[in-house]
Amino acid sequence: MQVKVIDRLPDRLPPDDDHPYRTGAWRPTFTEHDAEELDVLEGKVPEELCGSYLRNTENPVMPSLGRYHPFDGDGMLHAVRFAGGRASYRNRFVRTAGLEAELAAGEPLWAGIIEPPSRSLRDGWGARGKMKDASSTDVVVHAGRALTTFYQCGDVYQLDPDTLAQLGPAAWAPARGVSAHTKLDPRTGELFYFGYGAQAPHLWFGVVDAHGQRAFQQDVALPGPRLPHDVAFTEHYVVLNDLPLYWEPEQLAKGIYRPRWHPELPSRFAVIPRSGGEPRWFEAAPTYVLHWINAFEDGDEIVLDGYFQSDPVPRPDPTDGPYAGLKKMVDLSSMQTRPHRWRFDLRTGACREERLFEAISEFPSIHYARPGLRHRHVWSMTAKPGWFLFDGLLHMDLETGVEQRWRYPDGVYASESPMAPRPGAAGEDQGWLVTFVSDLNADRSEVHIFDAARVEDGPVARLALPERICVGTHACWAPTR
């Protein structure tokens, strides 16, 4: 492996830090690297695997103003590029306006999501305002650029997907912000985005064309502020949501942004033509959904798959100590996130729903070319109970009901694992899964490649990284074109 250190940001975190999401597997990375010819520790990199695996993560540089939530950290993009059976690696901070301002000040300037906005020392970004737009949640490659976004809405930061050179905010993003989870339609090259806020109209969505120009944007009226986290689309429609977990208007008037669960209210879904138009609303059982798997059209029905939460606001466990409340906020086991299906009948306005699998999992991947079309295979992450740490992979065949699992030993944690199709293959499960793995036991990080059809066999290749990196959440696959 040929390694070059590009830069290193100062570590301003407390030297005796005991925060569970700034230590251990979540220990931040401060060094930016370029590494060529990654060492293959086991197996062989498939010759046909050609493209880039990119992962974003929350990687805090400064201490927090008050309590720290793992979603507050600064964005850092990691990328592995595959070609001809070889692999190279790069990582860079996303140089947001907020990060640059804090580096210049030498101190934190914005409070995170657990604290009231009034604690921030400057105005800022976000659906509630006065937050730092860390651009640390999501990443997608569109129109030749890697786009990073923030879950509480902000700018869309652009980087070169090969070199990770900083290209600044996207001009097409509206001033009121874009949420994480922009969605790419690989068939048309279009990118769907949405945003939300505490002030009316509360929700908006738009489309960016294949050349990186905004095609249109539409407001969507809601009864009040909501907290949507994801969007789905089909060949002809976009599906947005109004779920009964949201900020209370009475508390907002007092500057309190604390979500409350309303199990007495239904979940609502808006089906809107992709080119804009009047929403068609459907009602379903109350829940909260972080991520949708996919949506597609089945005759007169819109089918939407995602992860139903049976307990969106689990009670803290006092035995978890001072971080009890925080731990439940990000614990998939406590929230009971399971794959679920909603069917919206465009003729009658009725909604039918069903559980797809009983296994608790989240953070899905499907075949790169299947978004908006009927899918059979889903790959998702399993999590260590009580923690926001991915301890394995789950492959679900929706046609046969067969599950395949791979679980890492305790102390070894993976990242979201997108599916990279085998070029020219007809089968939807023909390809690979790629993930970053942080091994606390050996104090190192690796790249693991799985055969997507045989996840239970374990990695077909393991590659070394220059140092142990912070674990992370969202990732994407970008094939070489």
| 159 within 8 A of 167, measured Cβ to Cβ | yes
The CATH homologous superfamily for domain 2-479 is TolB, C-terminal domain (2.120.10.30)
Stated pTM of the model: 0.97
Please give the chain's pLDDT, 481 residues, in tens: 999 999 999 999 999 999 999 999 999 999 999 999 999 999 999 999 999 999 999 999 999 999 999 999 999 999 999 999 999 999 999 999 999 999 999 999 999 999 999 999 999 999 999 999 999 999 999 999 999 999 999 999 999 999 999 999 999 999 999 999 999 999 999 999 999 999 999 999 999 999 999 999 999 999 999 999 999 999 999 999 999 999 998 999 889 999 999 999 999 999 999 999 999 999 999 999 999 999 999 999 999 999 999 999 999 999 888 899 999 999 999 999 999 999 999 999 999 999 999 999 999 999 999 999 999 999 999 999 999 999 999 999 999 999 999 999 999 999 999 999 999 999 999 999 999 999 999 999 999 999 999 999 999 999 999 999 999 989 999 999 7
User: Domain ranges in the chain?
Assistant: 2-479
Prior bond to 201 cis, omega within 30? yes
